[in-house]
């Protein structure tokens, strides 16, 4: 086990639902993230899996400090980031970068690629022009692009190449953590493998940590060290990707595996197709939030909310099936 | 064997620029057949011509596109010789299509009931009570609860999965013989996607319609299809029954596509990636379009376009590697 880079403790983010135009008052709360805890070690990848609306993206926004948490703590290298001074905060922001899903909207079409990649450096630690250029060319080579590309505009590149540019920009400040929000889902199949291999190479070369958000289970399993499965703002299962691949415990995780597409027409799988859709986070069901859709729900599931407990070593699950309430 | 329901012969659809100087061969010599009750998967990357192929079948191409050659035989008639009026009687009645984004294909200003009833009013001339009953039946068929209430609602009141099911209900309302689904589940979550694919399979079992699944996801093909056509840069590079494609891919591109996918069941250390970029259709390489990225390419591949070879039972591929055998 490597040393911890980021620890998230009981993180919550509630969004108010307002009523009225001038005298607005909250009439309810959307509990987007509701008591999430996890750690990411140096050089590790944590994969967040779940359906839309389960709080994956909100979690990453909290980590990037784009949203303020309602409660809970984010501890980065032993310091709570909410108590950091202005200078330390700048160091933190440098250390945590992001690559987004759609490389067509995450790159400014009016800026040359060289300037896009240089921008974080210019803002944070300005270098002399010659050195700056060298740095940009080095980054372009790192992500497998021609160094001559720095004078071109984003529209001159294909989707996969643009995603490489976005990765180069994220790397420009030598971060220790990169948030990858669906980094390959907008790309063509033959390009996806290229980008996934590139991400793995960079991780090995620089000892980067990744927070990977994706809904493609096979891709997440392939890239991650640990995986957290989220459902309606809570983590329902946490374990290493090998554990999860061979022994998914939570019925929701099992359903996700069964719903994932086969890689061969003869692949036989247990069919657990869950009915219904994700309920509104505005008014989540009482007890276990998954119980209305769960094929194994017991009476206790609608009353008591199961806590996340260790099942086997390092494998945690929040489900009444795995602990008989005494 | 009986005559296939759909028989496409050497279809060529080109996009021509306004002055006629630039020609983009979006679909270039595509042939395949589809029988009643069968499902075919058309796989390929963006720009490989999958969508243009399906739009050519319905003759719903954008103004710049022209079908310059080939034949499309559907139920014994050549669709390319039909007049626009005759085509209108085919679309939505005999052949229907489900598009990727249900928010784009539903009209936000009309109720669900109205939109499901539209093809029935136009093609079947249904009105009044019988129309309402049929719409309810269709909504129940795609597992939407309380259809009486739902049919008076608007698309924005539904979730993405429900909207896509409604588009499905519109698609099957006139009991078509062929349903073309263009990436029908890309915008859906995995569990909803599984529900939707099961629903389509059920509908097919009940009504015996033929389906064409256009997708870039090999997984959907593995789950849903009886046969597969793999497209690359406007050409159909391989077609075969689904198990043959997965067990003995003949074309290097198909093989690479299968290997580039991470597996759910066992761990692969490194994915096999296809180097390079998909080609620009307006500036295709000479020879086989896949040759610049092909690990097995020989001199000849860079010079001449390979013809289609038969490599097995119902198994065809366009690759020079198969010439000697």
- Report the b/e string of A64-101 with b at 16+ CB within 10 A: bbebebbebebbbeeeebeebeeeeeeebbbbbbbbbb
CA distance A35 to chain B (A): 24
Q: What is the pTM of this model?
A: 0.87
Name every chain A residue with its beta carbon within 8 A of the beta carbon of B193.
259
Name every chain B residue with its beta carbon within 8 A of the beta carbon of A268.
none
A60, A74, A227, A317 from A308: Cα distances, Å: 21, 19, 14, 5
Q: A33-90, pLDDT tens digit by residue?
A: 988 999 999 999 999 998 887 888 899 999 999 989 999 999 998 889 888 888 888 8
Name every chain A residue with its beta carbon within 8 A of the beta carbon of B162.
277
**Residue at token pair 């509701």:** A34
CA distance B160 to chain A (A): 10
Name every chain B residue with its beta carbon within 8 A of the beta carbon of A200.
270
Among A99-103, A279-283, B84-88, name the one with the lowest average pLDDT.
A279-283
CA distance B10 to chain A (A): 26
Strands B315-317 and A309-312: unpaired
Q: Is the pLDDT of residue B325 over 70?
A: no
Name the domain count of chain A.
Answer: 1
Q: B102-150, pLDDT tens digit by residue?
A: 888 899 999 999 999 999 999 999 999 999 999 999 998 888 888 889 9
User: How high is the ipTM of this complex?
Assistant: 0.81
Q: Is A217 in CB contact (< 8 Å) with chain B?
A: yes
Tell if the CB–CB gap between A265 and B246 is shorter than 8 Å: yes
d(CA A93, CA B132): 59
**Which residues numbered 41-60 in A keep a CB inside 8 Å of some CB on B?**
51-52
Q: Which of A6, A174, A3 is nearest to A76 (CA)?
A: A6
Q: Quick one: residue B117, left, alpha or beta (phi over 0 = left, psi -120 to 50 = alpha)? A: alpha
- Best probe of the B interface among A54, A149, A184, A193, by most B CBs < 10 A, is A193
d(CA B174, CA B169): 9
The single-letter DSSP state of residue A320 is: G
B50, B55, B108, B192 from B103: Cα distances, Å: 22, 19, 8, 16
Q: What CATH number is given for B6-94+176-322 in this structure? A: 3.40.50.300
Give the domain range for residue A176.
4-322
Give me the residue from B161, B189, B242 closest to A215, CB to CB. Answer: B189
Q: Give domain limits for chain B.
A: 6-94+176-322
Q: Are residues A140 and A160 in contact, defined by beta-carbon separation less than 8 angstroms? A: no
Q: Are residues B33 and B4 in contact, defined by beta-carbon separation less than 8 angstroms? A: yes
Q: B17-68, pLDDT tens digit by residue?
A: 888 788 889 999 999 999 999 999 999 888 888 989 999 999 999 888 999 9
Q: A145-190, pLDDT tens digit by residue?
A: 988 888 999 998 888 899 999 999 999 999 999 999 988 888 888 7
Tell me how far the alpha carbon of residue A63 is from its chain's centroid.
Answer: 10
Name every chain A residue with its beta carbon within 8 A of the beta carbon of B184.
none
- Report the b/e string of A209-228 with b at 16+ CB within 10 A: bbbbbbbbbbbbbbbbbbbb
pLDDT band at A25 (very low <50, low <70, confident <90, very high): confident
Tell if the CB–CB gap between A263 and B270 is shorter than 8 Å: no
Residues in CB range of B1: below 8 A, 6 or more apart:
none
- Best probe of the B interface among A47, A190, A232, by most B CBs < 10 A, is A190
Q: Which helix (H) or strand (E) holds B181?
A: strand B178-182
Closest residue of B to A160, CA-based? B277
| pLDDT score, position A324 | 56
Q: A284-296, pLDDT tens digit by residue?
A: 888 899 998 888 8
At A60, which CATH number? 3.40.50.300
Q: Is A201 in CB contact (< 8 Å) with chain B?
A: no
């Amino acid at each position: 086990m490597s040393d911890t880079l980021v620890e998230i403790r009981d993180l919550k983010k509630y969004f108010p639902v307002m009523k009225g135009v001038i005298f607005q008052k909250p009439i309810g709360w959307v509990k987007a993230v509701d008591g999430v805890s996890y750690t990411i070690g140096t050089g590790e990848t944590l994969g967040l899996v779940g359906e839309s609306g389960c709080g994956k993206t909100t979690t990453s926004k909290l980590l990037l400090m784009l949203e303020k948490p309602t409660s809970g703590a984010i501890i980065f290298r032993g310091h709570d980031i909410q108590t950091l001074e202005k200078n330390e905060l700048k160091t933190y922001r440098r250390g945590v970068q992001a690559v987004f899903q759609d490389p067509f909207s995450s790159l400014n079409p009016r800026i040359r690629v060289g300037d896009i990649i240089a921008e974080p450096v210019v803002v944070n630690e300005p270098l002399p022009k010659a050195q700056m250029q060298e740095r940009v060319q080095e980054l372009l080579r790192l992500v497998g692009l021609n160094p001559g590309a720095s004078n071109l505009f984003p529209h001159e590149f294909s989707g996969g190449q643009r995603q490489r540019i976005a990765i180069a920009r994220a790397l420009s400040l030598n971060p220790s953590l990169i948030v990858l929000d669906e980094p390959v889902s907008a790309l063509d199949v033959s390009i996806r493998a290229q980008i996934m291999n590139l991400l793995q190479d960079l991780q090995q070369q620089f000892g980067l940590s990744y927070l990977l958000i994706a809904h493609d289970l096979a891709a997440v399993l392939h890239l991650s060290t640990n995986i957290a499965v989220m459902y309606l703002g809570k983590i329902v299962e946490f374990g290493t990707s090998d554990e999860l691949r061979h022994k998914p415990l939570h019925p929701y995780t099992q359903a996700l595996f069964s719903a994932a597409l086969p890689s061969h027409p003869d692949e036989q799988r247990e069919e657990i197709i869950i009915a219904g859709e994700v309920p509104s986070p505005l008014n989540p069901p009482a007890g276990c939030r998954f119980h209305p859709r769960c094929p194994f729900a017991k009476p206790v599931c609608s009353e008591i909310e199961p806590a996340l407990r260790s099942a086997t070593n390092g494998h945690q699950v929040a489900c009444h099936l795995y602990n008989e309430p005494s | 064997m009986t005559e296939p329901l759909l028989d496409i012969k050497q279809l060529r659809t080109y996009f021509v620029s306004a002055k006629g100087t630039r020609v983009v061969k979006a679909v270039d010599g595509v042939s395949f057949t589809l029988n009643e009750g069968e499902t075919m998967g058309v796989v390929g990357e963006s720009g490989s011509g999958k969508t243009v192929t399906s739009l050519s079948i319905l003759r719903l191409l954008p103004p710049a596109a022209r079908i310059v050659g080939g034949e499309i035989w559907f139920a014994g008639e050549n669709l390319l010789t039909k007049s626009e009026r005759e085509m209108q009687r085919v679309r939505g009645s005999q052949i229907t299509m489900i598009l990727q984004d249900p928010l784009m294909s539903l009209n936000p200003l009309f109720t669900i009931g109205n939109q499901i009833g539209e093809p029935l009013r136009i093609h079947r001339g249904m009105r009044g009570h019988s129309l309402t009953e049929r719409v309810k039946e269709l909504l129940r068929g795609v597992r939407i609860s309380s259809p009486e209430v739902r049919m008076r609602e608007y698309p924005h009141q539904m979730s993405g999965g429900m909207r896509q099911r409604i588009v499905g209900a519109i698609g099957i309302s006139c009991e078509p013989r062929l349903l073309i689904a263009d990436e029908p589940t890309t915008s859906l979550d995995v569990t909803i996607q599984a529900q939707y694919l099961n629903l389509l399979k059920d509908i097919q079992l009940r009504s015996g319609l033929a389906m064409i699944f256009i997708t870039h996801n090999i997984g959907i093909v593995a789950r849903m299809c009886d046969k597969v056509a793999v497209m690359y840069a406007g050409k159909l590079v391989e077609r075969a029954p689904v198990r043959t494609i997965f067990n003995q891919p003949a074309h290097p591109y198909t093989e690479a596509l299968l290997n580039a996918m991470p597996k759910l069941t066992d761990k692969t250390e490194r994915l096999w990636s296809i180097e390079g970029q998909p080609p620009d259709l307006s500036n295709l390489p000479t020879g086989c379009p896949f040759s610049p990225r092909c690990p097995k390419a020989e001199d000849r591949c860079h010079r001449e376009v390979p013809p289609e070879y038969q490599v097995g039972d119902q198994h065809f591929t366009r690759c020079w590697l198969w010439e000697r055998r």
